[in-house]
Amino acid sequence: MAQEGSSYYDSPYMVEFYNLKWGKPSMPDMDIYWKIFTDAVTQHREAAPDKPFTVLDVGTGAGRVPLGLLQRAIAASFDTRNIQMIGLDNAQHMLDLAAKLESKTNNNTPPVTWVLGNALALDELPTLLPLSDKHITIDLLIFAFNSVCHMERDGELAQFFLQVSKVLTPGTGRACIGLADWFLLNPEEDMKVRAESEELPPPEDVQSVDFPGIRYHTTMNRMDCQGKLCVCGEDVQVFKQLDDGKDKEIEIHRVRHSLRWFTKPEFSTAIEAAGLRIVEVSKVDESEETAGYDDNIYILQRVALPFRASSVRSSTKQQDIVTSGAKNRMDELSKSVALNAGILSAELRDKGLPSLDDESFPVSFPLLSPEGSRARFELISAALDIVRLASGPSEFLGNLSLQGFELNTIGTMIKLGVPQQIPLDGSVSLRSLAQYAQVEEQLFTRLVRYSIAVGFLSEKTPGQISHNSASSVCVRDQNTTDSILSNLNVANPASVKMVEALKLNPTGTDASKTPLSVAFAQSLDGAEKLGTMWDFLRDHPEEEVRFHNSMAATHSTSIYSCEHVARGFDWNQVKSIVDVGGSEGHVSMAIVNSYPHIKSTVQDIGEVVASSRQQLPAQYNQTIEFIEHDFFQPQSVQADAYILRFILHNWSDEEAKRIIGGLLPVLKPGVRVLIIEHVVPEKGTVPLYVERIVRNMDVTMFGLLAGRERTAQDYASILSSVDGRLKLKGSTCPDGSVVTILEFIVE
């Protein structure tokens, strides 16, 4: 009696049949994948020559794509060193066949890592790989030949693209999705009419290659369509030729599988919502294997932004897919808000947190999952764009120009001590607060209600003022309160003196002629002269205290959390680190918590070192030490890695070179220098919210210190000008962070 089965993957015979039918390496889509692969590898080697280039073929089957790329590399004498090939499939028989086929090919190429896994759980890939680097991201992801149509359940398409976004290298990574026109519908089109217009193919015989005497007989017998699903039926009989020349049926497989059609807006919206965008659509030349499919390859980039149609180019008539649903920007933004607000709300509920506007909501936004972090950034970005567009140009600029009154009205409440007079779990009358502030009640009421309108304080009962989450921070956290006051008292006056400073200092590189210098010229030693921010803080000790407290407040927020440093780099590569200008050692503590084998030396000026030694928790006594050091002076402590976090952005390029020059005595081959800063992104490669933070800090550095935020290439130029052996190996901006880790290594 013949063995029975119900899928293409039930037996070694069936996977061979499937591969013979669908896995031909000569299929013309390989021409496109080959070009994308070689171009991407070449660009990658120019930008990060020491970092492996990683290819992931999802639904690899018998390895048609990775093995095909490697075979072409041999034929073209293309250098395959430092290339990692990964083939992922959910059928072990398929992977066994892939490994068997690989063993028959030329061995002068990197081995392919075959992984049993799920396309809807790509973020689990690091746990499945026998690789030492568990911080792997994918430089080129391929999901070929309509495999996306197997995402048959509602929501699976969106889930898949979210998974792609999680593993794809931001900015430079590319995902290639093969999808035929036949599977894409116009919104009003009836899929059933299209599918049932197709005739079933005639029965076919396929001769085995690997199994002598084996023949496959296939009959397509069903194509039922309901909703967007088409259920296909195919019977595959496996015959073995006996010694007498007769065929014996040894297996029969009654395969039933579903294929899903997608509307064009549904497809593009799922891509957009995942923080991806279509950068190109390439047409696959029609061949015998692809006849009738009119196949296309959609090339995607992770940008962590809602899709903008204006940034897309298309090489085919598929432009309508890219632009459909993108004609009305507000529609796009509303979809992004709905999707990402739902993701964020669900995660906050799972964490058991109170309402976002509740006075008991945490002072610092909690650390979220990568998906939750992306949703939060994209939600804020969409909201910012909605406000701008819905306001219209004139109102938007008018409101923007009056935000100084918003900030200073809230500042007035804080300086008058109003938040401290309101209990966290109660309310106080407007009259009582006005009397405390010694302000006429009617005027005071106007100021309070303006504060409420812009998001500070609450009036749940008329005339009774209570806290909301923002105002309660001024009672619960002194560092954050000092941060607000520091911005009001120092940064705000400096911001209105940019024109005067630019006339004195057109290059913005003189730290004694900044907007801050101009704003406080009268306050330096009582004379009309300019000075640096450090001069100002020295002469105003109360502002110096607030400034340092504001730094502590900033770095306690989730976007600046030291946990991102611990998670964003594989610290197993080093045993000892020096945290240059490391203040109280919070970065070192976060690293040691996760990597207890590391010994850290934290360096800073004398008074900081003295206080930090006293405050260091006892649990770090064996792993963290503090040493006084001026980073403009030669470094004397030898270590595997040197961390400079928020150091270089305070200084001009020439001063930054001096700081790096101080490391020269310890820069032996293999030593790493980790620059951790706001890295200025290319336009459209990060969410608008993140870009605004980075560019705000860039202008703030100019306004206060004549410093600047830089691109990755700017940092590479600075370090290589000091020591040509310092090469940029890679960069990482962990999800939820606005700060990038740049890894330089001494060659």
List residues with catalytic annotation: 649
Residue 304 falls in which region: left (phi positive, over 0), alpha (psi -120 to 50) or beta: left
Instruction: State how far Cα 179 lies from the chain centre.
Output: 25
User: CA nearest 45: which of 78, 100, 87, 82?
Assistant: 82
β-bridge mates for residue 220, sequence order: 234
Residues 6+ apart with CB under 8 A from 383: 337
- The structure tokens listed for 213 are 């005497």
The count of C-alpha atoms lying within 13 angstroms of the C-alpha of 612, restricted to the half-sphere facing its C-beta, is 24
In terms of Cβ atoms closer than 10 Å to its own Cβ (0-12, 13-18, 19+), residue 120 is middle
Task: Encode 355-380: b = buried (16+ Cβ within 10 Å), e = exposed.
Answer: eeeebebeebbebbbebbbbbbbbbb
Q: How far apart are CA 14 and CA 7, in angstroms?
A: 8
- The structure tokens listed for 207 are 């001769």
* Helix ranges (DSSP H) in 324-392: 329-350, 370-391
Per the listing, tokens 């390859």 go with 297
Handedness of CA 686, 692, 694, 699 (dihedral sign): positive
> One-letter amino acid identity for 261?
W
- The structure tokens listed for 264 are 């064009």
- The structure tokens listed for 324 are 């459909």
Q: How far apart are CA 703 and CA 520, in angstroms?
A: 12
Instruction: State how far Cα 739 lies from the chain centre.
Output: 11
Q: In the 8-state DSSP scheme, what is residue 681? A: P
Handedness of CA 535, 536, 539, 544 (dihedral sign): negative
- The structure tokens listed for 108 are 């002068």
Three-class DSSP labels, 200-265: CCCCEEEECCCCCCEEEEEEEEEEEEECCEEEEEEEEEEEEECCCCCEEEEEEEEEEEEEECEEHH
User: CA nearest 581: which of 654, 674, 491?
Assistant: 674
Handedness of CA 340, 344, 349, 351 (dihedral sign): positive
Q: How far apart are CA 449 and CA 409, in angstroms?
A: 10
Q: How far apart are CA 739 and CA 69, in angstroms?
A: 36
**DSSP for 108-136?**
SSPPEEEEE--GGGGGGHHHHS--S--S-
Residues 6+ apart with CB under 8 A from 34: 68, 69, 72
- The structure tokens listed for 32 are 């496109």
